[in-house]
């Protein structure tokens, strides 16, 4: 019968194979646990976001008074503000998809009583809408009362935004508040308002509002299972290769007369 010769474990090439297999297996296991850690972080973040979104809306002054400039502590909270839209500085961000509908995102600065400027994401208008300001979707003039949820804008694109030739920001790829602050007169707040309710309403068409973010756990669990599976495959594969290389026929099977193999 087949037997395993442990002397093979002393051969340099198989020692190297085992070491490499162990290192790769441990790396895959570490990546699996890393994905599980990411999953735990996502679950905690989702729980926090759900709690904040379920809170009743409070005036902006109350939210800022409690959390100061800690933007992460304000995210997803409902708030109300009053001010006047600065329609002349409205800007577009084309190529967006909301609720399976493609369009152009419309954001309009809101002048607040304390002199600061809040960027209000009013929603999506159909592709090709003239503007800005968005023709047929102009906000009301004068004082308005808004209700929405707080966001922190979007990360800038790696290649950077196109610099407006006339110094007037009309279109950009991302709602990058740091970049917007360079082109919008006034002190732009480090938060945006995702508009949900407005009084008085728009006199013409109303942009499609941005729905609340769907909270999911992402693909972290699937990735963790994938990495653990890779670890098992490598560990078992190396073990099988070593076993096969060290297996030889026993004396009874190969030599019926009982002679020993040299």
CA–CA distance, 184 with 157 (Å, rounded to integer): 19
The pLDDT value recorded for residue 1 is 60
The pLDDT value recorded for residue 250 is 42
Phi, psi angles (nearest 5°) of residue 233: -60, -45
Alpha-carbon distance values, 175 to 60, 80, 132, 180 (Å): 20, 21, 15, 7
> Exposed, middle or buried: residue 129 (CB in 10 Å: 0-12, 13-18, 19+)?
buried
Which residues, 6 or more positions from 151, have their beta carbon under 8 angstroms from its beta carbon?
75, 76, 121, 191, 192, 193, 194
Residue with tokens 């395993």: 4
Largest CA distance in the chain: 107
DSSP labels, 227-261: HHHHHHHHHHHHHHHHHHHHEEE-HHHH-TT-PPP
CA–CA distance, 251 with 101 (Å, rounded to integer): 75
In the chain the beta strands, taken as DSSP E runs, fall at 2-4, 58-59, 78-85, 91-98, 101-112, 116-125, 143-151, 187-199, 247-249
The pLDDT value recorded for residue 107 is 94
Phi, psi angles (nearest 5°) of residue 36: -65, -35
Which residues, 6 or more positions from 121, have their beta carbon under 8 angstroms from its beta carbon?
105, 106, 107, 151, 175, 192, 193, 194, 195, 210
Tens digit of each residue's pLDDT (9 = 90 or more) over 62-108:
666 565 667 777 787 888 899 999 999 999 999 998 888 899 999 99
The pLDDT value recorded for residue 119 is 94
The pLDDT value recorded for residue 261 is 44
CA–CA distance, 230 with 71 (Å, rounded to integer): 40
Tens digit of each residue's pLDDT (9 = 90 or more) over 137-147:
999 989 999 99
The pLDDT value recorded for residue 258 is 46
Question: Dihedral, CA atoms, 249, 252, 258, 260, nearest 10 degrees?
Answer: 20
The pLDDT value recorded for residue 67 is 57
Q: Mean per-residue pLDDT for 211-219? A: 83
- In the DSSP assignment, the letter for residue 145 is E
The pLDDT value recorded for residue 215 is 78
The pLDDT value recorded for residue 179 is 87
The pLDDT value recorded for residue 262 is 43
Cβ 106 vs Cβ 124: under 8 Å: yes
> Helix (H) and strand (E) counts for the chain?
6, 9
Q: Where are the domains of the chain?
A: 2-44+217-254, 77-199
CA–CA distance, 90 with 177 (Å, rounded to integer): 14
Cβ 120 vs Cβ 146: under 8 Å: yes
The total number of residues shown for the chain amounts to 262
CATH of domain 77-199: 2.40.50
255 or 65, which is more confident: 65
214 or 141, which is more confident: 141
Tens digit of each residue's pLDDT (9 = 90 or more) over 162-193:
777 777 888 888 888 888 888 888 889 888 99
Tens digit of each residue's pLDDT (9 = 90 or more) over 3-62:
877 877 788 888 898 999 999 999 999 999 999 999 999 898 888 878 777 777 777 666
């Amino acid at each position: 019968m087949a037997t395993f010769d442990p002397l093979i474990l002393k051969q340099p090439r198989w020692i190297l194979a085992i070491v490499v297999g162990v290192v790769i297996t441990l790396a895959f296991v570490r990546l699996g646990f890393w994905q599980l850690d990411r999953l735990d972080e996502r679950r905690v973040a989702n729980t926090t976001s759900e709690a904040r979104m379920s809170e009743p809306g409070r005036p902006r002054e109350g939210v800022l008074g409690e959390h100061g400039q800690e933007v992460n502590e304000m995210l997803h909270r409902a708030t109300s503000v009053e001010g006047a839209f600065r329609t002349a500085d409205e800007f577009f961000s084309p190529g967006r998809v909301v609720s399976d509908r493609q369009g152009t995102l419309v954001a309009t600065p809101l002048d607040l009583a304390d002199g600061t400027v809040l960027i209000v994401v009013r929603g999506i208008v159909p592709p090709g809408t003239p503007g800005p300001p968005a023709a047929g979707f102009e906000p009301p003039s004068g004082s308005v009362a808004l209700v929405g949820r707080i966001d922190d804008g979007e990360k800038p694109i790696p290649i950077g935004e196109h610099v407006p030739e006339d110094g007037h920001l009309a279109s950009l790829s991302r709602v990058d508040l740091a970049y917007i602050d360079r082109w919008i007169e006034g002190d732009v707040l480090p938060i945006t308002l995702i508009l949900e309710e407005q009084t008085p309403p728009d006199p013409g068409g109303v942009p499609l509002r941005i729905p609340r973010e769907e909270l999911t756990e992402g693909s972290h669990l699937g990735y963790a299972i994938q990495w653990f599976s890779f670890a098992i495959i490598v560990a078992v594969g190396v073990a099988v290769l070593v076993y096969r290389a060290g297996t030889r026929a026993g004396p009874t099977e190969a030599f019926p007369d009982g002679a020993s193999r040299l």
